[in-house]
Amino acid sequence: MKNEGEAAKRPDNTAFTQQRLPAWQPILSAGIVIPSFLLIGLAFIGIGIGLFLTSQTIQVWEMDYTGVEKDSPCFRCTILSNQNCTCEVIFSLSTLFTGPVFFYYGLSNYYQNFRKYGVSKDYYQLAGDTGYFKNPEAYCSPYAYDSKKNPIVPCGAIANSIFNDTFELYQIINGTKKQVPLDGKGISWWTDYNIKYRNPSPVNGSFAKSFDGTVKPINWPKPAYELDLTDPNNNGFLNQDFLVWMRRAALPQFRKLYRRITDGDYAAGLPAGNYSLKVHYNYPVLSFDGRKKVVFSNVSWMGGKNDFLGIAYLVVGSLCVIMSVVMLVVYAKFKFSDDDEAR
Amino acid sequence: GLCKKLNSIYCGGDEKRVDSRTIYVGHRPCPDTEAFIPSKFCDNRIVSSKYTVWNFLPKNLFEQFRRIANFYFLIIFLVQVIVDTPTSPVTSGLPLFFVITVTAIKQGYEDWLRHKADNEVNKYPVTVLEDGRSVKKESEKIKVGDVVEVVEDETFPCDLILLQSSREDGTCFVTTASLDGESNHKTHYTVPDTEKDLQALPATIECEQPQPDLYKFVGRMHIYKPEQEPAVRSLGPENLLLKGATLKNTKKISGVTVYTGMETKMALNYQGKSQKRSAVEKSINAFLLVYLCILISKAVVCTTLKYVWQSKEGQDEPWYNQKNQKEKDTNMYLKMFTDFLSFMVLFNFIIPVSMYVTVEMQKFLGSFFITWDKDFFDPEIQEGALVNTSDLNEELGQVEYVFTDKTGTLTQNNMEFIECCIDGFQYKHRDTRSELDGFTVTDGPVNKLQQKAGQEKEELFLRALCLCHTVQVKEAGSEEVLTDQVDGIDGMQPQPEEERGFIASSPDEIALVRGAMEYGFTFLGLESKSMKIKNRENNIEEYKLLHVLNFDPVRRRMSVIVQTKSGETLLFCKGADSSIFPRVKPEEVDRIRMHVERNATEGYRTLCVAYKQLSAEEYAVADTGLREARLALQDREQKLMAMYNQVETGMSLIGATAVEDRLQEEAAETMEALQGAGMKVWVLTGDKMETAKSTCYACRLFQRGTELLELTVRTLEDGRLKREEKLLELLRDYHRRAVQDAPPVKAGVTRSWSTANQDYGFIIDGATLSLVMNPSREADASQYRSLFLQICQNCTAVLCCRMAPLQKAQIVKMVKNSKGSPITLSIGDGANDVSMILEAHVGIGIKGKEGRQAVRNSDYNLCFILPQFLYQFFCGYSQQPLYDAAYLTMYNICFTSMPILAYSLLEQHISMEILLDNAALYREIANNAMLRWRPFLYWTVLGIFQGLLFFFGVRFLFSNPALQDNGQVFGNWSYGTIVFTVLVFTVTLKLALDTRHWTWINHFVIWGSLAFYVFFSFFWGGIIWPFLKQQRLYFVFANMLSSVSAWLVIIILILLSLLPEILLVVLRKPRGPHSRQVYLFLPFPF
């Protein structure tokens, strides 16, 4: 219990232990703050003007086709007994709708962000793992098994409630309808289509066989392997409409990409004129007071039309400029009084 | 509690009930006693560690879950396991696990250190005399009754009764620095007449049961001699060597063990210390409670709204989201309850799980900085600062009251003989100082002033100085020891050949003996009860030492009874004037009183010296009385006291001495700084008022402008009124002056220090204090006390003189428990300060670093969770989480904890130099400034503002979710990720804005955290994780970054949410170039 010698007990004399690490001590002096506020403000105003103008150039045409009013074209389809109902919406464009035109469908008061709804899917099924076809994830309940206890693939509420209205767009030229080609490719996330979702491997060369022993979701008219019989790359879980639907919307009022108009005569956009939109009306929304709409829009570098961002930038930018001016005034005043008092 | 339990396990319960224990020296049965029953005592193991390998896990977990926050998270975790909740148990389980693990590691490490220390003590080899042989044993194997040998500089392994010493006079010296902080050498005595063969000493010791008072011990030793009545020797504290004390200046001692292990006084004293809980944790708990209320109200609001919303047609169960049978069957109220729990779980992160850990880590690591600080290193004793508990670091920044001892703390306790006064004539020793004195010319040594006092008186006085003490002469030949002993021996000055080393328990005594030496009387030493003095004529005088009436703080005097060669019996007594004056003839007092008072005013310690000649009969009475009292087992103290008082009467005063106790280096500067820092400094001393007052002036506690309010025995003397009436009158008067008439003091900023205000100093003495505390009518007590307290609180400095140690503690306790429960700090060095140190919040304290910023991340969590709350309004109150589980889990422990920890450890918002120069800066943080409700409210409001901003900013952006130039739309996880990104950047950058002191570590953790967040998000979204059931975040982050709009919204939201903070920083900053140095800016907004 004797002293252990001096060196052991003397604290290390390093910058760290003595809390004397070299340090940068930023001082936000008026000379820095006022110009930087001004610069930020001006930059924001610049961005804001750019955003606002861009947003203004984006064309949007949208239309509610739910058919609540009696005189609306799709009213008759809202009667439940009316199966395979189609209705036609006529509209006209006064100017060229610059392409590429994006065709969205929109739903409101529709809660894709319900928690229970959101978890009601089986990722392993959707990744093509047939091992899970027979034993769907418990969260899929009550959409895991049909009444005969057959497993449903793809299971769960999201898949079951896929939006199944379909649209055909015609340009009416001199009374004749010319179909506008709608491009269903590239409407879902690249990673969803290429990596995240996988189809099960075909059994004996037959894609359908891999679904043996399972049943289609209750609301679906046809099983997953028949979603698009024309294009095997758009079939099954890799069906783009399916993928778009599976990416849940953030808010109860949302829109999802339906098609792009990029081909043929309409690559440059939709010319002015009359159009007819033929709606295969299947999707009931009135039971929960929902609404359906179609939206045509083109996009810019900032995405779809959204005035909010431009306005926000303009407001904040102006705020910064105003504050820099106020600060300048205050600074000038106080600087002089400081000099007088020499505190 | 635990230690007591241990005791009863080790020691057997029945033994405890007996009032005394009997110890058989060397375990030898003694004749004449009842059958030798070796009673069971506990072994000599010291257990200061809390855990063993086996009980660490359960015990540590139990203790950790007693903490509110941990328990809360455990509950949340369990709810998540049991109920179907929106987030998986991992989200709260992982942070909890992390927190528990980190804390357990810290506590385990600390306990391991304790184990190591215990082992070092318990395995220390000691020499035990067993059957005539010296046996080396491990310390823990010592049993009660063993005879143990200890050599110089070793610590005693247990409490021993000193039987034999290598010193001829049967004494030994110890320092008890590690026990009570007193580093003086104390003299202990062997039991008389036992210095023969220890191997065969047939004796028993009867002593009291273990008790923690270090200065009390009562026992009796029976020595059995063949064919004789057993001899009985009394044992007192002077015979007891305490475990933990160190043997000094004595080659070897032997002693018999009386108390071992956990029953030693040292162990008993440590047990008494309760864990001090820091005020920070208390206020954190209070804030947590607020957040808990917010949390619960959020959950209630959501649950209610959910059911209101569901009652609307079609909302509850739309066709696309139907319930399964189980959900349909569940009872409505049960559903409500589970919904409530789910909301709780969803929002539970509002209470930051990592906060306690951050706070704890900050304290733990912060204490290293105190240990490492080389400014605390004392090269003389080779010790740096020692942090005994890291729990209280931040209290150092909150001290409001400083209680300091005078002697040894304010002053050096390094005494120098200045002057003396013999029979009313003054003798000044140091010729360097010449000062005019009303009575005498004051230069030159004594012999030139012989005409002033009779030579006889003079020599009597000097003899008294030489005899009346307990000083030991340093043995020749141990010079090397001399150099490393600092306190007891006056080794400060270079020592000429003839100069002697003295050892004494108090430096005053050395100073007096040295003083006598200067005047020609040299104390040569004490050899077998005879004291030798070399007088002026270089003749050796010998006196037989008959009795020493030891000094004690109550009597405040000591005496010796000696016999001269000629057979005269003399009693010499020295002590404080107040204790001597009543015991001498009044006419003598008058001659000396003036000197004493003048010396006291100059700040010297004064002692009066008196003597008395005892006739043979008188001595016989005194002798038997003293002996009897010493042997008493019951009430020995009182009996001795009575006897002392009886002997020390009717003396005649010979003179007085003045000893200077110099101020500690920079004592005055320190006191000024403390006052400047807004702390109230109270000096609690046993010294007399004049001395203490002058010390206070010397160290600038009282200044010229200070108006002194005196409440002492002197001011209470009033012919008209009774003491208590006068006391009340004075209290009322002072109260009016100091409290009512004083301009109202705003808390915090302008605490009475500004020069405009009148400063008040308050003086009270022990006698008056006891009158205040315990008035004759019980009813007045509270009134007196509150008046007294209010006066004290309005005074800048308070001097309490003539305090008994217990009174010191009483005062500390009173202040501590007063309104607002201020943080108190006690500094002291002596035994008389121990109780007051234990009473105060902070024991010896040094300088504080503001470290409580860690709490700030509580508001992080508000803006973290608020968007999640708001999201419920948009998702049908379905408890849909906004953020991914990984983000929920990582937010506190990974993305935000490191910067705040680095900040709280390294931030120096004002440089050290400025801090040292401007003590007033302390006021800025005092009173828990950083943790008060206003800043807390500010943080909360800011958090709400930011939360609203984050959520609605992104909400408006998502009014059109097509955010990419390919027209594709973003989903709900993109929404959450954008909000979360804004959040992480905002809180980190906000901290960056507050950081004034950017070391490379700050840069590293702040930018590192952000980089880590980005890296983690890419990584987490870049891989299909096989163990996850849902790949929610797959490429969400990368996709988000490919959208220009997302970038733009992130940038603008970060800027907008930081704007209030930036504005505050800018508006608060120093404005002119000159003002930068002195501008006292507030480091934090409120």
pLDDT in tens, B967-1020: 899 999 999 999 999 999 999 998 888 888 888 889 999 999 999 999 999 999
Spatial separation of the C-alpha atoms in residues B139 and B148, rounded to whole Å: 10
Nearest CA in chain B to A45: B1052
The predicted-structure confidence for B570-610, as pLDDT tens digits, reads as follows 889 988 887 888 888 887 788 788 888 888 777 677 888 88
The predicted-structure confidence for B279-317, as pLDDT tens digits, reads as follows 666 767 777 788 889 889 999 999 999 999 988 877 888
Asked if the structure places residue B979 within a domain, the reply is: yes
Judgement on whether residues B688 and B782 belong to the same structural domain of the protein: yes
- Determine contact: B277 vs chain A, CB below 8 A: no
Asked if the structure places residue B606 within a domain, the reply is: yes
pLDDT of residue B71: 85
Spatial separation of the C-alpha atoms in residues B784 and B802, rounded to whole Å: 20
CB contact under 8 Å between B1048 and A313, yes or no, is yes
Among B146, B405, B423, B859, the active-site one is: B405
- Determine contact: B627 vs chain A, CB below 8 A: no
Interface predicted TM-score (ipTM): 0.94
Domain boundary residue among B269, B284, B300? B269
Higher local confidence (pLDDT), A214 or B398 = A214
The predicted-structure confidence for A249-260, as pLDDT tens digits, reads as follows 999 999 999 999
* Residue B500 assigned as binding residue: no
Judgement on whether residues B208 and B241 belong to the same structural domain of the protein: yes
Domain boundary residue among B771, B805, B840? B840
Omega prior to B1073 cis, within 30 of 0: no
pLDDT of residue A3: 40
The structural domain count of chain B equals 5
Query: What 3-state class would DSSP assign to B1022?
Result: helix
How many percent of chain A have pLDDT more than 90? 57
Q: Which residues of chain B lie closer than 8 angstroms to A28, CB-CB?
A: 1062, 1065-1066, 1069
How far away is chain A from the Cα of B452, in angstroms, using its nearest Cα?
53
Asked if the structure places residue B377 within a domain, the reply is: no
CA distance readout (Å), B507 to B407, B513, B693, B788, B1045: 11, 10, 21, 35, 80
Judgement on whether residues B627 and B728 belong to the same structural domain of the protein: no
DSSP A81: T
Query: What 3-state class would DSSP assign to A184?
Result: coil
The average pLDDT across B676-688 equals: 77
Higher local confidence (pLDDT), B918 or B532 = B532
CATH number of the domain within which B226 lies: 2.70.150.10
CA distance readout (Å), B242 to B121, B150, B156, B215, B833: 14, 12, 7, 10, 19
pLDDT of residue B481: 36
Inter-axis angle of helices B1044-1068 and A307-341, nearest 10: 20
Judgement on whether residues B158 and B77 belong to the same structural domain of the protein: no
- Determine contact: B309 vs chain A, CB below 8 A: no
pLDDT of residue B394: 65
- Determine contact: B18 vs chain A, CB below 8 A: no
Q: Which of A60, A141, A251 to mutate to test the interface with B (most CBs of B within 10 A)?
A: A251
Q: Which residues of chain B lie closer than 8 angstroms to A312, CB-CB?
A: 953, 956, 1049, 1052
B275 pLDDT higher than 60 = no
Judgement on whether residues B30 and B46 belong to the same structural domain of the protein: no
Residue B15: pLDDT band with limits 50, 70, 90? very low
Asked if the structure places residue B894 within a domain, the reply is: yes
B64 pLDDT higher than 60 = yes
Spatial separation of the C-alpha atoms in residues B940 and B946, rounded to whole Å: 10
Judgement on whether residues B56 and B25 belong to the same structural domain of the protein: no
CB contact under 8 Å between A249 and B1072, yes or no, is no
Q: Which of B126, B243, B320 to mutate to test the interface with A (most CBs of A within 10 A)?
A: B320
Judgement on whether residues B146 and B107 belong to the same structural domain of the protein: no
Asked if the structure places residue A166 within a domain, the reply is: yes
Nearest alpha carbon to residue B41 among B241, B243, B209, B260:
B260
Q: Which residues of chain B lie closer than 8 angstroms to A338, CB-CB?
A: 1071-1072, 1074-1075
B79 pLDDT higher than 80 = yes
pTM: 0.73
pLDDT of residue B1014: 95
Q: Which residues of chain A lie closer than 8 angstroms to B382, CB-CB?
A: 3, 6, 9-10
pLDDT of residue A4: 42
Cβ-contact B469, B607 below 8 angstroms: no
Domain boundary residue among B209, B243, B269? B269
pLDDT of residue B928: 55
Tell me which amino acid residue B1026 is.
P
pLDDT of residue B237: 83
The predicted-structure confidence for B813-826, as pLDDT tens digits, reads as follows 787 777 666 677 76
Query: What 3-state class would DSSP assign to B672?
Result: helix
CB contact under 8 Å between B1044 and A303, yes or no, is yes
DSSP B409: I
Annotated catalytic, B405? Answer: yes
- Determine contact: B286 vs chain A, CB below 8 A: no
The average pLDDT across B61-84 equals: 84
Nearest CA in chain B to A117: B321
**Domain range for A283:** 76-96+114-251+273-289
pLDDT of residue B152: 84
* Residue B685 assigned as binding residue: yes
Spatial separation of the C-alpha atoms in residues A64 and A291, rounded to whole Å: 7
- Determine contact: A256 vs chain B, CB below 8 A: yes
Higher local confidence (pLDDT), A293 or B628 = A293
The predicted-structure confidence for A64-76, as pLDDT tens digits, reads as follows 999 888 888 888 8
Asked if the structure places residue B797 within a domain, the reply is: yes
- Determine contact: A149 vs chain B, CB below 8 A: no
Query: What 3-state class would DSSP assign to A49?
Result: helix
CB contact under 8 Å between A11 and B958, yes or no, is no
CB contact under 8 Å between A17 and B373, yes or no, is yes
Spatial separation of the C-alpha atoms in residues B614 and B546, rounded to whole Å: 12
Omega prior to B125 cis, within 30 of 0: no
pLDDT of residue B728: 79
pLDDT of residue A93: 92
Q: Which of A49, A189, A339 to mutate to test the interface with B (most CBs of B within 10 A)?
A: A189
Residue B502: pLDDT band with limits 50, 70, 90? confident
Residue B351: pLDDT band with limits 50, 70, 90? confident
What tokens were used for A37? 């506020």
- Determine contact: B1029 vs chain A, CB below 8 A: yes
Nearest CA in chain A to B997: A25
Spatial separation of the C-alpha atoms in residues B198 and B191, rounded to whole Å: 12
B926 pLDDT higher than 70 = no
Spatial separation of the C-alpha atoms in residues B152 and B996, rounded to whole Å: 53
Nearest CA in chain B to A340: B1072
Asked if the structure places residue A192 within a domain, the reply is: yes
CATH number of the domain within which B707 lies: 3.40.50.1000
Q: Which of residues 437-496 of B touch A (CB under 8 A)?
A: none
Residue B1075: pLDDT band with limits 50, 70, 90? very low
- Determine contact: A63 vs chain B, CB below 8 A: no
Inter-axis angle of helices B279-310 and B933-957, nearest 10: 40
The average pLDDT across A299-307 equals: 90
The predicted-structure confidence for B461-472, as pLDDT tens digits, reads as follows 888 888 888 777
The average pLDDT across B679-686 equals: 79
Cβ-contact B560, B571 below 8 angstroms: yes
Q: Which of residues 122-141 of A touch B (CB under 8 A)?
A: 123-124, 127, 137, 141
- Determine contact: A300 vs chain B, CB below 8 A: yes
* Residue B774 assigned as binding residue: no
Judgement on whether residues B589 and B467 belong to the same structural domain of the protein: yes
For B676, counting Cβ atoms within 10 Å of its Cβ (0-12 exposed, 13-18 middle, 19+ buried), the class is middle
Q: Which residues of chain A lie closer than 8 angstroms to B879, CB-CB?
A: 115
- Determine contact: A191 vs chain B, CB below 8 A: yes
Query: What 3-state class would DSSP assign to B637?
Result: helix
Residue B4: pLDDT band with limits 50, 70, 90? very low
Asked if the structure places residue B235 within a domain, the reply is: yes
Q: Which residues of chain A lie closer than 8 angstroms to B1062, CB-CB?
A: 28, 33
B434 pLDDT higher than 50 = no
Judgement on whether residues B235 and B261 belong to the same structural domain of the protein: yes
pLDDT of residue B269: 63
- Determine contact: B1045 vs chain A, CB below 8 A: yes
Asked if the structure places residue A236 within a domain, the reply is: yes
Asked if the structure places residue A119 within a domain, the reply is: yes
| Phi, psi torsion values for A256, nearest 5 degrees | -130, 150
How far away is chain B from the Cα of A108, in angstroms, using its nearest Cα?
11
Cβ-contact A224, A126 below 8 angstroms: no
The average pLDDT across B748-761 equals: 52
Nearest alpha carbon to residue A273 among A57, A61, A58:
A61
Q: Which of residues 538-567 of B touch A (CB under 8 A)?
A: none
- Determine contact: A339 vs chain B, CB below 8 A: yes
Spatial separation of the C-alpha atoms in residues B689 and B406, rounded to whole Å: 12
**Domain range for B187:** 20-40+135-269
- Determine contact: B1022 vs chain A, CB below 8 A: no
pLDDT of residue B773: 77
Asked if the structure places residue B300 within a domain, the reply is: no
pLDDT of residue A241: 94
What tokens were used for A128? 């093509």
Query: What 3-state class would DSSP assign to B209?
Result: coil
CA atoms B618, B624, B630, B633: torsion sign: negative
pLDDT of residue A159: 94
Residue B375: pLDDT band with limits 50, 70, 90? confident
Residue A243: pLDDT band with limits 50, 70, 90? very high
- Determine contact: A340 vs chain B, CB below 8 A: no
CB contact under 8 Å between A306 and B960, yes or no, is yes
The average pLDDT across B787-805 equals: 79
Q: If residue B223 lies in a helix (H) or strand (E), which one and from where to where?
A: strand B219-223
Judgement on whether residues B679 and B540 belong to the same structural domain of the protein: no
The predicted-structure confidence for A16-47, as pLDDT tens digits, reads as follows 777 777 878 777 777 788 899 999 999 999 99
Higher local confidence (pLDDT), B200 or B542 = B542
Q: Where are the alpha helices (DSSP H) in B276-353?
A: 279-310, 325-329, 332-347
B192 pLDDT higher than 90 = no
Asked if the structure places residue A137 within a domain, the reply is: yes
Q: Which of A47, A115, A137 sits opposite B879 (nearest CB)?
A: A115
Computed on alpha carbons and rounded to an integer, the radius of gyration of chain A in Å comes to 31
Q: Which of B376, B958, B1065 sits opposite A251 (nearest CB)?
A: B958
Asked if the structure places residue A17 within a domain, the reply is: no
Q: Which of B872, B915, B968 to mutate to test the interface with A (most CBs of A within 10 A)?
A: B968
Q: Which of A120, A188, A327 sits opposite B1066 (nearest CB)?
A: A327
Residue B757: pLDDT band with limits 50, 70, 90? low
Asked if the structure places residue B147 within a domain, the reply is: yes
Residue B961: pLDDT band with limits 50, 70, 90? very high
Q: Which residues of chain A lie closer than 8 angstroms to B874, CB-CB?
A: 113, 250-252
CATH number of the domain within which B580 lies: 3.40.1110.10
The structural domain count of chain A equals 1
Q: Of the spans A72-76, B553-557, B716-720, B774-778, which averages the highest pLDDT?
A: A72-76
* Residue B601 assigned as binding residue: no
CB contact under 8 Å between B962 and A257, yes or no, is yes
Cβ-contact B425, B440 below 8 angstroms: yes
What tokens were used for B603? 């700040």
The predicted-structure confidence for B650-667, as pLDDT tens digits, reads as follows 888 888 888 877 777 777
Nearest CA in chain A to B905: A19
CB contact under 8 Å between A308 and B975, yes or no, is no
pLDDT of residue B392: 62
Residue B490: pLDDT band with limits 50, 70, 90? very low
* Residue B819 assigned as binding residue: no
The predicted-structure confidence for A141-168, as pLDDT tens digits, reads as follows 889 998 899 999 899 999 999 999 999 9
- Lowest-pLDDT range of A55-59, B834-838, B994-998: B834-838
Higher local confidence (pLDDT), B69 or B643 = B643
